[in-house]
C-alpha cells in the first residue's frame, strides 16, 4: 500500500514496481506450494520455496489485509483487481481450512494449519473480523452475507477472550479445552489493537450498538487496570486478581497509534473517516483512495 501510494503521489511507478516484484514472488511461491487460496508463512529468499504454516496470525496477517486494501486504495480498478481476486480465494481458504468451532460449537476461531498446525488463536488474528466486514462492504449480496456472518462469529470469540478474564483484558493467545472453555496460553496483555479495530469496522458496517458497548467495556478495563502515572502499562497475566501487581513496564508504540485511535473512532461520528474515501494501513494510518483510477503500473502478471 505504502509504495503504491508513493507512486500515486509522485506519478512515478518505480516504487509500486518494487512492491509488485515482491508480491509476484510471493504469489509464485504460493502457487508452487499448491495453496488453497492461502499462503505459507515463510519463503526462501534464494529458491522461492515456501514452507511453514498458514494462519491469520503472526507472519501472515498483514499480507491478507493488504490484498484487500490495495484493491480498495487503487479505486477498485482493473489495475488492482488481481489483488482482490487473490483475497477472495484466500477468504475461501480461510473458511475451508482455518475456521474452526469450539467442541460445543458455541465459538468460532481461526486455527493454524501446515507445519505448525494448532487449534490456538492469536490476538493478532482478531483483525480478521474487521477485514471480512470491510470486504463485505463492496461484495455481491451472497458473499456480503457470508463474510459478515463469519466476521460476527469471530468477533464474539475475540471479545469473549477479554470479557471472560478477571481483568477484562485479553491474552495474546488462547485455545478451547474439551469443555469449550477458553483457556489463555500466552496470558500477557500486550495492548494490541486488533480487537478494537474489528469492533470499529463492524460498527460502521452493521450499525449494531453492541460493538460500541463491547468496545466501551474494553476501554473501561484498560483505564481501570493499566493506567499508571506516566501512561499505560501491559499486564503479565490477564487471569490475575491483582493486575496492578503484575504490570509490564512498557507502553507499546501501537497502543497510541492504533489501539486508542480505533477506540476514539469507534465512539466518533460514523463519517469521521469515511471508508469510501480512506483506507487504513496496517499501522492505522489513513490513506486517501486514489482519485485518478489507481493506474500506477501496479499489477500482478
Residue 300, domain member (yes or no): no
The answer for 40, left when phi > 0, alpha when psi is -120 to 50, beta otherwise, is: beta
Tell me: the pLDDT tens digits for 226-282?
Answer: 999 999 999 999 999 999 999 999 999 999 999 999 999 999 999 999 999 999 999
At residue 31, does pLDDT exceed 50? yes
Residue pair 234/190 in contact (Cβ under 8 Å)? The answer is yes
| φ, ψ of residue 297 in degrees (nearest 5) | 85, 10
* SS3 assignment, position 158: helix
- Which structural domain, as residue segments, surrounds residue 193? 2-278
At residue 40, does pLDDT exceed 80? yes
Tell me: the pLDDT tens digits for 183-224?
Answer: 999 999 999 999 999 999 999 999 999 999 999 999 999 999
Residue 286, domain member (yes or no): no
Is residue 285 packed enough to be buried (19+ CB in 10 Å), middle (13-18) or exposed (0-12)? middle
Residue 285, domain member (yes or no): no
Residue 288, domain member (yes or no): no
pTM of the predicted model as reported, rounded to 2 decimal places: 0.95
Average pLDDT for the chain: 94
Residue 295, domain member (yes or no): no
Q: Which three cell numbers stand for residue 85?
A: 481476486
Number of domains in the chain: 1
Residue 226, domain member (yes or no): yes
Judge whether 282 is annotated as a binding position: yes
At residue 291, does pLDDT exceed 90? no
End-to-end CA distance of the chain: 18
Is residue 214 packed enough to be buried (19+ CB in 10 Å), middle (13-18) or exposed (0-12)? buried
d(CA 111, CA 57): 9
d(CA 155, CA 152): 5
Amino acid at each position: 500500500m505504502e509504495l503504491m501510494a508513493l507512486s500515486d503521489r509522485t506519478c512515478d511507478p518505480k516504487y509500486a514496481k518494487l512492491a509488485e516484484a515482491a508480491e509476484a514472488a510471493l504469489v509464485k511461491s504460493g502457487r508452487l506450494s499448491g495453496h488453497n487460496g492461502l499462503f505459507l508463512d515463510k519463503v526462501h529468499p534464494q529458491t522461492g520455496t515456501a514452507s511453514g504454516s498458514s494462519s491469520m496470525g503472526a507472519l501472515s496477517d498483514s499480507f491478507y489485509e493488504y490484498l484487500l486494501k490495495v484493491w480498495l486504495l487503487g479505486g477498485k480498478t482493473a489495475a488492482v483487481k488481481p489483488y482482490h481476486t487473490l483475497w477472495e480465494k484466500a477468504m475461501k481458504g480461510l473458511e475451508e481450512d482455518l475456521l474452526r468451532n469450539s467442541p460445543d460449537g458455541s465459538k468460532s476461531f481461526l486455527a493454524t494449519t501446515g507445519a505448525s498446525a494448532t487449534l490456538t488463536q492469536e490476538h493478532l488474528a482478531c483483525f480478521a473480523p474487521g477485514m471480512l466486514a470491510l470486504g463485505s462492504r463492496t461484495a455481491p449480496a451472497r458473499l456480503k452475507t457470508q463474510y459478515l456472518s463469519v466476521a460476527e462469529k469471530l468477533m464474539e470469540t475475540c471479545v469473549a477472550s477479554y470479557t471472560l478474564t478477571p481483568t477484562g483484558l485479553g491474552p495474546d493467545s488462547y485455545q478451547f479445552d474439551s469443555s469449550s472453555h477458553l483457556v489463555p496460553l500466552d496470558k500477557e496483555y500486550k495492548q494490541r489493537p486488533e480487537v478494537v479495530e474489528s469492533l470499529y469496522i463492524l460498527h460502521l458496517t452493521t450499525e449494531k450498538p453492541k460493538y460500541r458497548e463491547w468496545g466501551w467495556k474494553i476501554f473501561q478495563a484498560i483505564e481501570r487496570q493499566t493506567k499508571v502515572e506516566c501512561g499505560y502499562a501491559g499486564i503479565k497475566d490477564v487471569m490475575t486478581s491483582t493486575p496492578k501487581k503484575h504490570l509490564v513496564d512498557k507502553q507499546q508504540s501501537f497502543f497510541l497509534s492504533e489501539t486508542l485511535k480505533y477506540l476514539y473512532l469507534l465512539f466518533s461520528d460514523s463519517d469521521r473517516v469515511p471508508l469510501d474515501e480512506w483506507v487504513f494501513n496496517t499501522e492505522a494510518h489513513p490513506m486517501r483512495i486514489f482519485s485518478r483510477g489507481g493506474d500506477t503500473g501496479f499489477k500482478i502478471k
